[in-house]
Structure 1
């Protein structure tokens, strides 16, 4: 993983995007501390999809609680 200062990232943003498109993950530093990570969206989407599947599996096993005292149409009253 490559690290770059915020000022350098600002000055060379196009080159930074080319590096990310080539598969690199870049950490942006501000005053020496990491403040952002720039990576291809697919790498993040895979983890997000797995988290979503785990959440849905857990929710399907969980018993529903409370009672419903409202109708769906009430949510969209003008």
Structure 2
């Protein structure tokens, strides 16, 4: 999303609206005499929904590290 630019005078007049837009994820650049002085943005980036199918694919692809032979092999490798 492109950054919106607004003058300081207009920002004063429309602060509530700008705060709502920033909270929704928009970044707003406030200028004074044509020079950027403030960037208004939300405190936290909007969270993306979790794709359960992709998460399951990743976890299913991981190896089961509680396997007894795997742990035994790690202990023996560390000793020698």
Which category of TM-score, normalised to the shorter sequence, fits these structures? 0.5 to 0.7
Residue 20 of structure 2 is matched in structure 1 by 18
Q: Which has the larger radius of gyration?
A: 2
Q: Structure 2: which 5+ residue stretches go unaligned?
A: 46-80
Instruction: Give the RMSD, CA atoms, in angstroms.
Output: 0.9
Per-residue CA shift, 1:28-50, capped at 9, x if unaligned?
0000000000111124xxxxxxx
**TM-score, normalised on structure 1?**
0.53
Gapped runs of 5+ residues in structure 1? 44-78
TM norm structure 2: 0.51
Q: Structure 1 segments of 4 or more deviating over 4 A?
A: none
More helix by share: 1
Provide the C-alpha distance between the structure 1 equivalents of 2:23 and 2:44, rounded to a whole number of angstroms. Answer: 11
